[in-house]
């Protein structure tokens, strides 16, 4: 999957010739991802439909899985077949070896700052995601099925915010809007650490978490890829080495690393001081995620978006 996704996102830098075009591409990719996610999560619904049609459970599941695989394969082929790189992409070369290209990518100050804040974001978000069912069942004393409802609300609301995020990013800038996302997430995680202790019904508290999460989820679902594409394009214009795939590959690696680190750290926090998930551990985990969001916000203060846009606009105007 990484072998497909990395060059796919690298196209964003080459197919989008201006920051706004790249933002638009990132938004459309996020929208199609959302649609695919909704369809993908209905696999058991389709399995049930086949079972009612007379299929055995195992056979029904296998049939649906194969169908999903075939459809997914066909859609993965579409950009390969229909996007003419020679027509829509500018031809560039890289005068660096593979290892040197990676080193110079991380030496690019805006990119280095970006990937570190991205790492913090993924550690914090993954940790909260891992603990969501426990926040619902342990802190709010609600049934675990309610966690699925909260996730669905978060997803649907974030989808509604895609268009506003696109518009605001054009007016306010990607950096500023990403910082807003960090602030809202920090507020939400602070609220999460207090679940069960507030003068609100448990259901109301869970819905507040969902609503607060929806906006930053839309922001972080759209802007990071567009920002990496801008960084890669600006780097290429400054140095003559166009290596969008290296930048996106490095970003993907850092993203996976953040998810892995969270998977190692947060389960231990959930059981802090005990052998099972407990309230203290869950509240501490939320506070840790809050701290990571604050650190991400602080790091973004040093991200020089004007430097990136200056190089993009100067060469584009030429």
Q: At what angle do helices 2-15 and 202-239 cross, to 10 degrees?
A: 60
> Can you tell me the mean pLDDT for 6-31?
77
What span, in angstroms and rounded, lies between the C-alpha atoms of 249 and 10?
9
What span, in angstroms and rounded, lies between the C-alpha atoms of 21 and 148?
35
* C-alpha distance across the termini of the chain, in Å: 38
Residues 6+ apart with CB under 8 A from 70: none
- Whether residue 250 contacts residue 105, with contact meaning beta carbons closer than 8 Å, is answered with yes
Distances (CA, A) of 167 to 24, 45, 181, 217: 10, 35, 15, 16
Please choose, from the candidates 43, 260, 39, 279, the residue with its C-alpha nearest in 3D space to the C-alpha of residue 130. 260
| Band of residue 31 on the pLDDT scale cut at 50, 70, 90 | confident
- Residue-wise pLDDT tens digits, 240-298: 888 888 888 889 889 999 999 999 999 999 999 888 999 999 999 999 999 999 999 99
Residue 109, domain extent: 2-317
Mean pLDDT score of the chain: 88
Please choose, from the candidates 118, 119, 144, 121, the residue with its C-alpha nearest in 3D space to the C-alpha of residue 131. 144
Total domains present in the chain:
1
- Residue-wise pLDDT tens digits, 136-157: 999 999 998 898 888 888 888 9
Write the CATH number for 14. 1.20.1250.20
Tokens read off for 2: 């990484």
What span, in angstroms and rounded, lies between the C-alpha atoms of 270 and 286?
10
């Amino acid at each position: 999957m990484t072998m497909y996704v990395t060059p796919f996102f690298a196209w964003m830098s080459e197919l989008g010739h201006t920051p706004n075009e790249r933002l638009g591409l990132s938004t459309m990719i996020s929208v199609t991802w959302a649609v695919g996610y909704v369809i993908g999560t209905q696999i058991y619904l389709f399995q049930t439909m086949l079972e009612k049609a007379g299929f055995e459970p195992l056979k029904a599941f296998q049939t649906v899985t194969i169908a999903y695989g075939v459809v997914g394969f066909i859609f993965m082929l579409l950009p390969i077949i229909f996007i003419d790189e020679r027509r829509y992409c500018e031809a560039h070369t890289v005068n660096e070896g593979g290892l040197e290209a990676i080193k110079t990518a991380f030496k690019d100050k805006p990119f280095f700052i970006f990937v570190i804040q991205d790492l913090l974001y993924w550690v914090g978000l993954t940790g909260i995601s891992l603990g969501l069912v426990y926040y619902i069942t342990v802190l709010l004393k609600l049934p675990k099925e309610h966690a699925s409802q909260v996730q669905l609300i978060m997803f649907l609301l974030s989808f509604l915010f895609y268009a506003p995020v696109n518009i605001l990013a054009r007016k306010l800038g990607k950096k500023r809007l990403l910082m807003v996302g960090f602030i809202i997430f920090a507020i939400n995680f602070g609220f999460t650490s207090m679940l069960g202790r507030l003068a609100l019904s448990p259901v109301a508290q869970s819905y507040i978490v969902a609503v607060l999460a929806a906006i930053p989820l839309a922001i972080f679902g759209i802007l990071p890829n567009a920002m990496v594409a801008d960084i890669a394009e600006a780097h290429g214009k400054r140095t003559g080495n166009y290596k969008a795939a290296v930048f996106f590959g490095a970003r993907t690696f850092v993203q996976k690393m953040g998810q892995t680190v969270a998977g190692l750290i947060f389960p231990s926090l959930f059981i802090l001081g005990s052998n099972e998930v407990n309230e203290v551990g869950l509240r501490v985990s939320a506070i840790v995620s809050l701290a990571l969001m604050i650190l991400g916000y602080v790091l973004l203060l040093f991200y020089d978006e004007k430097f990136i846009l200056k190089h993009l606009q100067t060469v584009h105007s030429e």
